[in-house]
Amino acid sequence: MNKVKERLAGWSKDRALVRTAAGVGSALLLLIVCLCISIYMRSNIQHRYTSAASRIQEQTYQGLIQMSELFARVDDPSVDVQHKLIPELKAEYAGVSALNTALAENFGAKRAVLTQEQTDAFDAAFDEYSTAYRQGLATGLAQADMSACIQQVEAMIDERYAPDVDPTEPVVVIDGSSGEIKKS
C-alpha cells in the first residue's frame, strides 16, 4: 500500500504526467459526450424515419378509402360513370399509386400498402374501362374487375382499422337515461 502511495505522490509531482492524464481524461469525457449525442441523433432520425413511413402509409390508406367510397357509387343511376366517376377514381388512384411507390422505393417493399399484383390489377381494370369506352363496348367486365380490386382494398382496410374483439367477451351497455351498466 505504501508503494502505491509513493508512486502516486511521485506521479503527482511530474507535471507532464499530470497534463497527459488530464488530457486523456478530457478526451475520454469528450468521446463519451460525442457518443451520447450520436446515439440520441440516431434515435431521433430513426423515429422520424418511422414516423414519415407511417404518415405516408396512412395517407395511402385514406386514398384507398376514398377510392372505395367513390366506386360504391358506380351503380347509382344519377352518376356519370364515364365522365365523372372513373376520372375521379383514376385521379385518386394516381395519388395512391404514387404514395405506394414512394413507400416501396424509400422504405422497402414491406412498407408498401399495395402489392405489385394489386397495382397491376388496378391498372388492368382502368385499361379495360378505357378500351370499353373508346370502342363503345359494355363496361361489365371492367366493372367486375374493378369491383374485385376494391373488395381486396376493403378487406385490407377492415384488417387495418377494424378493432379486434373477442366474441366471448361480454359487451357492456351503459343505459343513458339511468346510468345503469348492463352486461349482455
Query: Domain coordinates of the chain in residue numbers?
Result: 56-160
Burial label for 39, CB within 10 Å (0-12, 13-18, 19+), is exposed
In tens digits, the chain (184 residues) has pLDDT values of 777 777 766 666 677 777 887 888 899 999 999 998 999 888 888 888 888 889 999 999 999 999 999 999 998 989 898 899 999 999 999 999 999 999 999 988 899 999 999 999 999 999 999 999 999 988 889 999 999 999 999 999 888 887 766 667 766 666 666 555 555 5
Q: pTM score, two decimals? A: 0.69
Neighbours of 129 (CB within 10 A): 22
The answer to whether 119 touches 109, Cβ cutoff 8 Å, is no
Burial label for 105, CB within 10 Å (0-12, 13-18, 19+), is exposed
Cα–Cα distance, 100 to 91 (Å, whole number): 14
Cell 460525442 belongs to 34
